[in-house]
Amino acid sequence: MLSIVRGGPRVLFLKGDRSGLDRTLASAFPVSMHSFESALDCAGEGQTIVALHGKEEGGRREFRVVSSSSDEVLAALVNDASCRLESVRLLPRILFFRIFGDKDRVVEQMEKDLAVGGIPGTTVRKERLRSLLGSSAKNEIAVCFTYAPLNGPIAVADILDDVLLVDRTAYHDLYTFLRSRGLWYFSEGLENRSWNEMEIRIYDSWGFFMEHAERLRTVLGSLEIGMILGEGWGKDFAHILMPVRVYRLRLFTFLSTLLVKEMLVGLEYAEDGSRLADFDLYSGRDKISWGGLKQRGGGRENLGKATRAKLYARLHDRDRDRLAELERRLIRLRERGTKS
């Protein structure tokens, strides 16, 4: 539930018969047209961004996002003589690295490690993001940094301007190196902060514990804020000798208790402001109160609506839709008066 490094799309600049190249691409793969920024925004790992040599009609270059890997794209073009492919220019391969906190500490430490022999023979230099467009060094690999979760497309606006260009090493070797040290680099950005283990307790008088647990997993999976170490049933006592059934999840996260509590308060309320459940948060034996969030909302219900809106805005579209559907299903079950 925490991706720290992953690959990005490959970018190809092609020279040849434009109409023939477009015809071959469209007949072999799903293709969509974009500006360069929107192409990067929507292209995922394993996809290819293609630009044809020269300007498009109207003076604006259009980029094609091809839903296939670059080697399959090139194979299709080479095997079709009618498209008259003349040359190919490759932009550096891209690796995305997620950070949290002090990005300079992470970038500087990674640059230092790679420069002094993290991978034998490696050379590395720091550049700005825009420099990638003018690069002709096809064997370079660009390590781009972002604060955004890596389980979906990374928008240009989410990429930090500092980029490490790594040369004289294989893509697989660098990917393996960063994956093996990824958690260490990620933790370096936390500076004086530390990872926190917390317990989330779900209370629901209607008994729909699994539905709420699934809503929580959807959010944790979308935001990638940590790892669930375990979960299961437990008991709490609302009053002496009055046990209450609860569902517990142990969360290991780099976020503070206040930020996690804000997320949980957002899950407690439906769109119409009705209360769906209680999500209590514990750090050790200490119960984390929502009181620290009061100044942000002015009252529990208003706070719930505000934190819910903020939570939904942070989710990927697919996860936002899934969470909304889970909420509607939960409300339908309650309206029928059916307990799980």
Residue 135 has pLDDT above 80, yes or no: no
Instruction: Provide the CB-side half-sphere exposure for 25 (13 A, CA).
Output: 30
Q: How far apart are CA 126 and CA 107, in angstroms?
A: 9
Overall pTM surpassing 0.75 (yes/no): yes
**Tokens representing residue 2 in the block:** 């925490």
pLDDT tens track for 240-275:
667 788 999 999 999 999 999 999 999 999 988 889
pLDDT tens track for 82-130:
888 998 988 889 999 999 989 999 999 999 998 877 777 788 888 887 7
Q: Which of 212, 132, 196, 207 is nearest to 164 (CA)?
A: 132
Instruction: Provide the CB-side half-sphere exposure for 203 (13 A, CA).
Output: 12
Task: Report the percentage of the chain scoring pLDDT > 90.
Answer: 53
57 or 252, which is more confident: 252
Measured from the Cβ of residue 133, the count of other Cβ atoms closer than 10 Å reads: 11
Mean of the per-residue pLDDT values for the chain?
A: 87
* Domains in the chain: ranges and CATH: 5-90 (no CATH), 93-188 (no CATH), 196-335 (3.30.70)
